[in-house]
DNA sequence: GTCTATATGACGATAGAC
DNA sequence: GTCTATCGTCATATAGAC
């Protein structure tokens, strides 16, 4: 019954949600306190370095949520194409109920802070690198060779991140569904080409 | 020699640059005035509706710059794959000199304002739709049929937007160069498949 | 751990002189 | 068209009581 950490945790969860929806500059500490219901006086006790410290930990939380969510959807399917199609269609469904995009898209905070907050930029860079690695790992599990998996890892990360922006802007999940389909085709064809390579073609 | 519009124009160009680098919430009117060197008292004369009006016109300027830049790079090549590879490698080069990303990536302002400023969200949505259309048009010029061109148009838009985020975060153009290569492959294979389709396969 | 009160500054916006 | 002055609001952050 360690309800001692509750306040800190609640602040962090609320901050994570707000940073994703409104960005770093668009979210004030007051709003975080109000929406979290946390005690007003507690924020600088739990986060002595203020807003930037909260953001760093929020990014870390987003990282955890995205990686775990992806892992769950991407494993145990029959092929890489099927796995990513399943994953992206699930993400699309989240965007349809436009209230909640928890654990998605650090693209906003990344591009906001790239030129102005080096520490936050670096945190985001690490998350993107983790995503690329995860995608590459998954592809190798489905039979891609390392080189091609790494090439595709960054491509998939970019496609997903871009599709999230489009879905947020359009306020529906259709762009993600389109990307799901195209990525599925790309993966099928890549795997065929890879096979040809092994059989001596080029 | 109509130097009368100069002030308005200078404000708009500076605002466009700053909004792209720092976002809508991260850019203050003071900064726009200071960096543009425009007269301090003139901003609400030229833009009676304040910051939001400036942003709307800035988005319109970004739209123009992106569409024209893309058009120039994408036409007159031997194939769609070659055209987009050329275009994206040029964009990548711009990201390497990380000072200037003029005319690129409305993704930041789009995701910042999607939930909070309906008019700005709508402006961004229209720009994305224009980009999709342009990409589809270009593909048709290189021989894609309409249906596939439109499917790919949104995919290409997402890939580019996502790759821009990665390049901004990593502070170099390499993600864009990787995407250029992968997109080139995707387009080649798509066009081959399309040929097979027409020959009765599927 | 939490509270209030407050310091300090930036913000967007307006009014009115010139 | 441009200027100054200023309003009101918000922001982050700190100090000190409880």
Q: What is the pLDDT, as a whole number, of residue A98?
A: 72
Q: Is A25 on the interface with B (CB under 8 A)?
A: yes
Whether B125 shows a pLDDT value over 60: the answer reads yes
Residue A190: pLDDT band with limits 50, 70, 90: confident
Name the residue facing B112 among A23, A105, A114 (closest C-beta): A23
Cβ of B27 less than 7 A from strand C:
yes
d(CA A30, CA A96): 29
Label residue B3 exposed, middle or buried (CB < 10 Å: 0-12, 13-18, 19+): exposed
Residue A182: pLDDT band with limits 50, 70, 90: very high
Q: What is the pLDDT, as a whole number, of residue A202?
A: 39
Average pLDDT (A135-150) is 97
Q: What is the pLDDT, as a whole number, of residue A19?
A: 97
Average pLDDT (A95-114) is 83
Binary contact (B108, A105; C-beta < 8 A): no
Average pLDDT (A73-79) is 98
Binary contact (B110, A175; C-beta < 8 A): no
Whether A6 shows a pLDDT value over 60: the answer reads yes
Residues 6 or more apart in contact with residue B19 via CB below 8 angstroms: B27, B55, B58, B108, B109
Q: What is the pLDDT, as a whole number, of residue B190?
A: 86
Cβ of B60 less than 7 A from strand D:
no
Q: Gap from B81 CA to D2 C1', in Å?
A: 52
- Quote the tokens at residue A85: 């199609």
Q: What is the pLDDT, as a whole number, of residue B102?
A: 63
Average pLDDT (B128-150) is 97
Whether A55 shows a pLDDT value over 70: the answer reads yes
- Which carries the bigger pLDDT value, residue A80 or residue B193? A80
- Set out the domains of chain B in order of their start, with CATH numbers: 51-198 (1.10.357.10)
Residue A97: pLDDT band with limits 50, 70, 90: confident
CB A57 within 8 A of CB A153: no
CB A27 within 8 A of CB A18: yes
SS (H, E, C) B85-122: HHHHHHHHHHHHCCCCCCCCCCHHHHHHHCCCCHHHHH
Average per-residue pLDDT for chain B:
92
For residue B53, which nucleotide's C1' is closest to its Cα?
Answer: C12
Q: What is the pLDDT, as a whole number, of residue B200?
A: 45
Residue A116 CA to its chain's centroid (Å): 21
Q: What is the pLDDT, as a whole number, of residue B72?
A: 97
Q: What is the pLDDT, as a whole number, of residue A195?
A: 63
Residue B99: pLDDT band with limits 50, 70, 90: low
Cβ of A4 less than 7 A from strand C:
yes
Average pLDDT (B159-170) is 96
d(CA A2, CA B189): 57
Of all residues in chain A, what percent carry a pLDDT higher than 70? 92
Whether A188 shows a pLDDT value over 60: the answer reads yes
Helices (H) and strands (E) in chain A, counts: 9, 0
Q: What is the pLDDT, as a whole number, of residue B1?
A: 41
CB A187 within 8 A of CB A152: yes
Q: What is the pLDDT, as a whole number, of residue A157?
A: 97
Residue B3: pLDDT band with limits 50, 70, 90: very low
Q: Gap from A47 CA to D13 C1', in Å?
A: 12
Q: What is the pLDDT, as a whole number, of residue B197?
A: 54
Backbone phi, then psi, for B119, in 5-degree steps? -65, -40
Q: What is the pLDDT, as a whole number, of residue A191?
A: 84
Give the pLDDT confidence of B64-96 residue by residue, as tens digits: 999 999 999 999 999 999 999 999 999 999 988
Distance from the Cα of B123 to chain A's closest Cα (Å) equals 10
Neighbours of B31 (CB within 10 A): 14
Give the pLDDT confidence of B4-55 residue by residue, as tens digits: 579 999 999 999 999 999 999 999 999 999 999 999 999 999 999 999 999 9
CB A106 within 8 A of CB B110: no
């Amino acid at each position: 019954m360690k309800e001692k950490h509750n306040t800190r945790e609640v602040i962090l969860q609320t901050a994570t949600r707000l940073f994703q929806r409104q960005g770093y500059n668009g979210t004030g500490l007051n709003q975080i306190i109000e929406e979290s219901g946390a005690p007003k006086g507690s924020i600088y006790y739990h986060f002595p370095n203020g807003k930037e410290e909260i953001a760093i930990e929020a990014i870390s939380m987003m990282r955890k949520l995205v990686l775990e969510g992806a892992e769950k959807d991407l494993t145990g399917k029959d092929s890489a194409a099927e796995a990513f199609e399943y994953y992206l269609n699930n993400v699309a469904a989240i965007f349809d109920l436009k209230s909640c995009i928890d654990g998605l898209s650090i693209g906003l905070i990344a591009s906001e802070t790239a030129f102005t907050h080096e520490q936050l930029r670096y945190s985001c860079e690490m998350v993107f690198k983790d995503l690329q690695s995860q995608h590459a790992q998954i592809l190798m599990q489905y039979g891609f060779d390392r080189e091609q998996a790494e090439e595709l890892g960054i491509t998939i990360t970019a496609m997903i991140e871009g599709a999230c922006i489009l879905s947020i802007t359009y306020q529906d999940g259709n762009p993600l569904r389109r990307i799901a389909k195209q990525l599925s085709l790309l993966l099928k064809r890549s795997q065929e080409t890879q096979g040809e390579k092994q059989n001596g073609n080029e």
